[in-house]
């Protein structure tokens, strides 16, 4: 076994040992929870409750992604409206300047007695004066035509700015409604999940955590049993190392939906801020990260890459190597290390491809 293989075997073994130790620790703490009374006929089992809670939090995660996307788009639209306002002001200033030029030409004609330039030219007795005047008339006509053309273009631009501003305001309002709808969904799902948990006894809550860890451990073990780590042997890029340093420094901070730090994070808030710290701006949500970032095969995964989970891309974590990832799990949990295969993997994306 080579040095790299030994290191990866030790890393994978360490993560497996970490999961197993956590399970044993919870078992030791709960004691009688292992012998919890059988549920009444028709009542939900603790495992069913766990699955229901997990599904509620996953749905809350989906709604959080929708909220974050609407918020991100609203910020972009607000910035666009500000830019349009600046263009309108510049256009109005331009119109004022053009009107001043037109007024100056009118005043000059008034000072000449109001006689058209062509008539003044016809009355000229000097051939050279006639030719010079003819040239000035052509220049004046072109200047007048250019002035009128520029005024028309500027007026047209102002009309387009007004249309653009209206469109952006409509989008902004639509996103405001999306945000309110998503926020309501998030709060309802989290409230439902918390209500289910609040009905459990202390030992049932401890057992619930154990069931959660067992499910993750089972999924991770199945993923590792495929021999996937034998194929994954890439090292982190320099920017990937910086992103990992940021992410790991946030361990222990609580999950809060919509949060981007510095004191709390949701899943995509953590990954987007980690890569921002590495000098690479990436989309705010896990769904947009999946849609816009280059995808890589799992066998080519390297530390710093983002792992997108579930069919609806509602969760994301950052691969740290040796079969592990770091993520902000869900409400009630803190940023932590977990098995990269502890949830269904949809895709892997690379921010610095």
Q: Which of 267, 298, 316, 343 is catalytic?
A: 267
The Cα angle at residue 82 between residues 77 and 85, in degrees rounded to 5: 125
Which ranges constitute the DSSP H helices of the chain? 3-30, 46-111, 117-122, 127-198, 202-224, 228-231, 238-249, 267-277, 286-292
State the average pLDDT over residues 174-198.
87
pLDDT (mean) for 307-336: 95
* pLDDT above 60 (res 3): no
Where residue 318 falls (left for φ over 0; alpha for ψ -120 to 50; beta otherwise) is beta
pLDDT digits (tens, 9 = 90+) for 298-317: 999 999 999 999 999 999 99
| Residue-level pLDDT at 234 | 84
CA angle 121, 126, 131 (to 5 degrees): 60
Residue 261 binned pLDDT confidence (cut-offs 50, 70, 90): very high
Average pLDDT, rounded, for the chain: 79
- Lowest mean per-residue pLDDT among 15-29, 151-165, 191-205: 15-29
Catalytic, 267? Answer: yes
- Comparing C-alpha atoms, which of 84, 68, 70 is closest to residue 316? 68
Known active-site residue 19: no
pLDDT of residue 127: 53
Considering 8, 183, 315, 330, which one is annotated as catalytic?
315
CA atoms of 84 and 157, how far apart (whole Å): 11
- CA geometry: angle at 262 spanning 257 and 264, to 5°? 30
Among 43, 151, 65, residue whose Cα is nearest residue 101: 151
- Read off the pTM: 0.65
Q: Choosing from 253, 327, 330, 346, which is the catalytic residue? A: 327
Contact assessment for residue 259 and residue 266, using Cβ atoms and an 8 Å cutoff = yes
Give the residue with greater pLDDT, 166 vs 11. 166
Active site includes 315?
yes
Percentage of residues of the chain with pLDDT beyond 70: 74
């Amino acid at each position: 076994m080579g040095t790299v293989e030994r290191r990866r075997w030790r890393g994978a073994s360490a993560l497996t040992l970490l999961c197993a130790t956590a399970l044993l620790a919870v078992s030791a703490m709960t004691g009688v929870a292992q012998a919890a009374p059988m549920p009444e006929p028709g009542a939900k089992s603790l495992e069913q409750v766990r699955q229901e809670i997990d599904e509620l939090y996953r749905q809350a995660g989906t709604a959080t992604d929708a909220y974050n996307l609407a918020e991100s788009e609203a910020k972009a639209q607000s910035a666009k409206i500000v830019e349009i306002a600046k263009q309108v002001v510049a256009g109005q200033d331009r119109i004022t300047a053009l009107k001043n030029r037109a007024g100056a030409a009118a005043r000059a004609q008034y000072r000449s007695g109001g006689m058209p330039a062509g008539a003044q030219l016809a009355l000229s007795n000097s051939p050279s004066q006639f030719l010079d005047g003819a040239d000035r008339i052509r220049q004046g006509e072109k200047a007048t035509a250019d002035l009128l053309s520029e005024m028309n273009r500027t007026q047209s631009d102002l009309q387009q700015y007004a249309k653009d501003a209206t469109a952006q305001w409509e989008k902004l309002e639509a996103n405001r409604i999306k945000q309110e709808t998503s926020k309501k969904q998030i709060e309802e799902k989290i409230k439902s999940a918390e209500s289910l948990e609040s009905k459990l006894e202390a030992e049932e809550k401890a057992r619930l955590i154990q069931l959660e860890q067992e499910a993750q451990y089972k999924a991770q073990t199945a993923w590792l049993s495929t021999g996937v780590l034998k194929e994954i042997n890439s090292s982190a890029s320099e920017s990937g190392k910086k992103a990992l340093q940021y992410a790991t420094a946030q361990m222990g901070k609580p999950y809060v939906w919509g949060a981007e730090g510095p004191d709390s994070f949701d899943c995509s808030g953590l990954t987007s801020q980690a890569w921002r710290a590495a000098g690479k701006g990436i989309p705010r949500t896990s769904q947009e990260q999946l849609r816009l970032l280059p995808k890589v095969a799992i066998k080519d995964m390297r530390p710093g890459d983002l792992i997108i989970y579930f069919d609806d891309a509602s969760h994301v974590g950052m691969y740290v190597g040796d079969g592990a990832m770091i993520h902000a799990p869900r409400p009630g949990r803190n940023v932590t290390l977990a098995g990269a295969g502890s949830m269904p993997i949809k895709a892997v994306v690379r921010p610095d491809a």
